[in-house]
Each structure stands twice: as structure tokens, then as C-alpha cells.
Amino acid sequence: MNLKKISDYENKKVLVLGLARSGVSAARLLDKLGAIVTVNDFKNFDENPEAQLLLDEGIRVITGGHPVELLDEDFELIVKNPGILYSNPMLVAAVNKQIPIITEVELAYQISEADIIGITGTNGKTTTTTMIAEMLNYTRENNGKAYLAGNIGFPASSVAQEATSEDELVTELSSFQLLGIRTFRPKIAVITNIYSAHLDYHGSREEYVKAKWRIQENMTSEDILILNGNQAELRELAQNTKAHVVTFSTEEKTNGAYLLENTIFYGEEMILSIDEMAIVGMHNVENALAAVTAAKLRGVENEAICEVLRNFHGVEHRTQFVGSINERKFYNDSKATNILATKMALSGFENDRVILLAGGLDRGNDFDELLPAIYGLKGMVTFGETAEKLMLTAEEANVGEVLMTENAEVAVRLAYEMSSAGDVILLSPANASWDQYPNFEVRGEKFVQAVKQLAEEVGAE
């Protein structure tokens, strides 16, 4: 176990609120650090394997609700699951009692011997985080490792215990996690972009932006903040940070990585043509520019950067190249649970060669905003609760052929039948998955399975 020897938590009464992976990790770490830990999770004990495990390890567990009277026990700190709203009565009462509330990434920072590279933003976080880690690891042998951590699925407080001072924690950070930091200070921070999102959680766009901007609040002039220079809002925010600001841009030459005549440059160095990149779409070019900037600032050679970009086929469910069947390319973008994400995915292709698979949960919205992005598509197959709405939108957008079916798996065969050599078949639903699937990952996995099955039946290249 490699962690800074800190005594801050010895005999300190700490409440871990909400489990899942990050809560389990936080509870175990606090226990190791000598804290008196109580875990409180909403799910009943009988259906709560995480709570059962922690109880077996000797950690106190209270399940089946969040009883406010628990706070009468004089806790000195709450470590909350990022998904729990601050309007939760337990947290409202904690604020009134002036009990500090943090998230598990703050704990990770406090014990980490490794430098932290923190990545946040509305879109592209996971792709950018993964690219940076791959670039940092490409030519390494025995001199450290870049660990993926955070919102990407690896609790930062667990990973921080493995990493040494020779390593880096390449950490994806959500706005929910950033609301719970106090001393967290990355050596390099990246904000990929900012659009409106999670307004149900934050209450307003202003509060959402404030949460994202917290990534830099403890940074100094010795630290580097990488921002998307295409966005006026981020350029304006850059006036109010102590960090050294480096920008990337697809629109102009900057002090970071930038795009000029379809080629990525860093300073005066030509890195590679975007036509050589394995993943498509201008949003992925922006992600690549952010990653290149971070990698160059950590001393990664151009050759390693180029090899990663030539071979990086995307993260699962995010414009992920699945394979080709008789010269038709299949892409899984199941993570596109809103219109903006689908528009971004479509921007990487020529519409007259694309058959789009879209549909899902009906949140009551119309799809007028999608019209310009789908105009002139070769075809669309719609499914789920919004199938009919999307079909009407497709007809209005002059889409070549439109079919309606039950789900994403059946849509694969129908799309293949309306395609020809050179076409792209893209699952990018523009809707949440919950009408038919437990989450977008399961929807994507079902799509990938259907593509593999089709390949076996029709004979793939």
C-alpha cells in the first residue's frame, strides 16, 4: 500500500453516505486510516452485497434509509456518494450542523503520492482520460505507470493506494465529485468543454459551470490548466485562475495543441494528420487535442502520441468502432443519451453514407433540434418509446429510408439490409435507455452482440 502517512483521520468519527464502488472504497480507506467509520446506505441490507461485505470486515453499517437522527452522533465529517443530491434531508441537516461534506476524490488526493491529472467537461471526459493514460503509458517500461481513476469506473481512493510517486493518477471527474473537494489540487487539469447538463442536480447552468470550475480552485502558477480555446465561456473563465493556462483549439493557433489544415500541431511541431486517426468526428479531434496537450506537457514523444491516435478505436459505447461486415462499418455510440451527443457523433460522417439507429426513453421532448444533423441521412431505424416521434422527424429531414422496429438489436439487421458497401451503421440513440435496457452499457452490448451474430450469418470481411 503506497499512501501518504496521514494521521488526520485517527479516531475521527466519519459517516460514509451512500455505497456503490466509491463508497466501499472510501469506507475501507478511512478504516485503514484509523477513523471510526459508519456507513449509511439507502438500500435494504438483504439486497445490499456491498453493505454485507463491509459488515463482515468489521465496519458499522446502517441500511434501509437515511435517518436524519443519525447525525446526533457528532460526526466530524461526511463522505458522500457523488450521486446523492445536496437537497437530501440528511445533507441539509449536516450543513446546518456545519459538518464538512466531501466526496471520495478528496480523500484520494490527500493520500496520493502520485501526481494527479484531472479531466472534467460535459462531453469527451472518458475518451480524453483514456487517450492521456495510453499516451503516458506507451513507451514506459519500469519507470512508473499512468493509472485510470475516478468517474471512469476505478474509485480514486483505491487507485491512489496503489500508485507511487513515479506514477500518475489520470482521473476523470464529474461535476458531482468536484462539488465535494476542499484541498484537491491536480498538477494538470483539463476541461474538455462546457455545455448545459445535469441541471436537475445543480439547479441552474450557472451552478453547473461553478462546479466544473472548482477543478482549478486550489491550483497555483506551478500547475497547468488545459482549456478548450474554442469556447468563449472558458476563455473568459481563464481570466480568473492562478493556474498557468494552456489552450487547445480546432479554430486557431494556440499555446497548446491546435488544428491547422487538417493536421494536429503542438507549437511549431507537426504531430499527425487527423485522417490518420482511428476515431472519427470533430468532437474526437478536440478530445485528441486535449490529450496531446497533456501528453506533451508530461514529456511524451511525438511517436508515442501518433501511435496511440492511429490505434485508438474509442472507448466502449462512445463512437466505438465495432467492426466491418462486407464493407459496412458499425459504430456503437450507445452513450449518446441526448440530442447533443448524437449531433456530435454524426458530425464525424458524411450523412448520405450513414444509417442511424436511434430511439429510447420518451422524456416528453421533441426532436426538432436534431433536424439539421440528420438531414439527408441515407437511412434511419428507430426503436423504443420514441420510435414514432423520431420517424416523423426523419421524414421531415428528408432521410432516404426510415423504418421503425422494436429494439436496437433488431435494428442492426434492418440497417444492414438497407445499406451498401462503404456505408456506416451508427447506433447513436439520442435517448436514455431505461424504457428497454437497465443502462446505456447494456444497450451497447446488445448492439455489439447483434453485429457479431450478423457477421457470422452473412460472412464478414
Q: Which residues are annotated as a binding site for ATP?
A: 121-127
Burial 244-258 (b: 16+ CB within 10 A, else e): bbbbbbbeeebebbb
CA distance 229 to 237: 11
- Ramachandran angles phi, psi of 221, nearest 5°: -65, -15
Start-to-end CA span in the chain (Å): 48
Task: For residue 246, give the amino acid letter.
Answer: V
CA distance 309 to 317: 18
CA distance 161 to 140: 21
The CA–CA distances, whole Å, from 197 to 40, 86, 123, 304, 398 equal: 28, 17, 10, 34, 30
CA distance 297 to 410: 46
Which residue ranges make up the annotated binding site? 121-127
At 51, list the grid cell.
Answer: 453493505
Burial class (CB in 10 A: 0-12, 13-18, 19+), 4: exposed
Helix-strand-coil percent breakdown of the chain, rounded to 5?
A: 40, 20, 40
CA distance 44 to 267: 56
CA distance 3 to 162: 8
**What angle do helix axes 282-297 and 125-137 make, rounded to 10 degrees?**
40
Enumerate residues 6+ apart whose C-beta is below 8 A from 46. none
